[in-house]
Amino acid sequence: MRFAIGGTRYVSLPTLRRRSVITGSISSGSSIRGPSTVRIGSQWMEYQGANNWHGLLDPLDDALRSEIVRYGEFVQAAYTSFDFDPTSPSYATCRFPKDSLLHRSGLPSSGYRVTRNLHATSATRLPRWARSAPASLSRRSSWIGYVAVCQDEDEIARLGRRDVVIAFRGTATCLEWLENLRASLTHLPSPFPPSASQPDPMVQRGFWSLFTSPGSVRWSLRDEVRDEIARLLDAYGGKGHPLSLTVTGHSLGAALAVLTAYDITTTFQDAPMVTVVSFGGPRVGNASFRRRLEEQGSKVLRIVNAQDIITKVPGFVIDDGGNGKKKDGKEGTTLISWLLSKTGWVYADIGRELRLPGQRTANVVACHDLSVYLNLVNQLSANYPFRSLATQAVAGQR
């Protein structure tokens, strides 16, 4: 069985056979829509999170709902384009040429053009007992997503700017699964010395490895993104339409989307507004990393199915009220919080959360599936707010 996952420990390795069980498939009832007609126009910065989506989430604004689903479909296109068949000579590559990728993956009228394929490389090794497994299981570099630029003038007018999308799929290969399990935190390069009030920013070791490790014939994912963003900023930055960067992904792809936003705002002083729209993402880093991300101006909309266990891992979250004090006002932390802080497993939830009232079930795959996420988002509207859905969901469980 195969499903995209980020930072969990209790699942078996995927067999990578049946496409019908891929997380992100459209077999759960979601359908690819035609082009959106909801006009964003001059309000685009608000919808991209300039005010942290204040007043837009509960009830969920209809225009924002449409945009969330639209970005989710870019992620579905990444799943659809990926060759999941380990017996295929093209396993772990993109099945479609760049020029026809969006059309052939179900988005014929998006108004965007793919400009770059993206690849992630694992630095970990298979355990000794698995080294005699088929060569496909040891595939280190895999196609993980793409960069696309809005080129259609009508869509640019609807959006109020020229939008660049960076879309990532979730976990697919054996080594990506192993990277998910490397859930301890690792330090990020930082020009600022740590202090008691500003400890080092840290992120999940496996996600960082997939983001920064180069392949034998490929750059790292980080360098591929940097190179393409530099090219696009030169081509479009400050010329004509305003420019936005939207990074979107599901599961592992959601984690990589957060790291990508962090790296873009760190690397490019003249970067336009960077927004993350993540679906079913695991935790990525500690509170210092979250603070650094926010200081750099990145906006993260974290879409979470309340029943999805993947969004609750890895590590622990110590709720200190955001100011180093417990909520009851007493200074310091409890002994258990202090002990947890020494484990290297203390994470922080990052971004503004849109929590979806999914149906309670023991089926982890069903809770985590991207198409389930998009269906749940589609059920939310200004006339059908989250609280009403949540009340109905609870009532249905009695």
HEC sequence for 65-117? HHHHHHHHHHHHHHHHHECCCCCCCCCCCECCCHHHHHHHCCCCCCCEEEEEE
Strands 346-347 and 352-356: unpaired
d(CA 358, CA 378): 12
The pLDDT of residue 34: 57
The pLDDT of residue 319: 62
Token readout for 80 is: 């659809």
The pLDDT of residue 15: 33
Contact criterion met (CB below 8 Å) for 311 and 280? yes
| Selected catalytic residue, list 200, 263, 308, 369 | 308
Query: How many Cα atoms occupy the beta-carbon half-sphere of 216 within 13 Å?
Result: 2
Strands (E), 151-272: 162-168, 185-187, 202-204, 243-250
The pLDDT of residue 296: 94
Closest CA to 147 of 237, 234, 247: 247
Contact criterion met (CB below 8 Å) for 150 and 70? no
The pLDDT of residue 36: 74
Token readout for 303 is: 């879409």
Reported pTM? 0.85
The pLDDT of residue 335: 54
* Placement of tokens 């979601």 in the chain: 30
* Placement of tokens 């259609």 in the chain: 152
Contact criterion met (CB below 8 Å) for 95 and 146? no
250 is catalytic: no
User: What integer best gives the mean pLDDT of the chain?
Assistant: 83
The pLDDT of residue 381: 67
Q: Which residues pair with 347 in a beta bridge?
A: 317
Those residues of the chain that have pLDDT short of 50 are: 1-32, 320-332, 384-398
103 is catalytic: no
Contact criterion met (CB below 8 Å) for 208 and 186? yes
- Other beta carbons less than 10 A from residue 305's beta carbon: 23
The pLDDT of residue 359: 83
Strands of the 299-305 sheet, one edge to the other: 112-121, 141-150, 162-168, 243-250, 273-279, 299-305, 352-356
| Selected catalytic residue, list 251, 278, 298, 371 | 251
368 is catalytic: yes
| Selected catalytic residue, list 36, 61, 288, 368 | 368
The pLDDT of residue 1: 32
Token readout for 260 is: 């990508």
Q: Which residues pair with 343 in a beta bridge?
A: none
Closest CA to 14 of 251, 183, 173: 173
| Backbone dihedral angles phi then psi of residue 383, each to the nearest 5 degrees | -95, 0
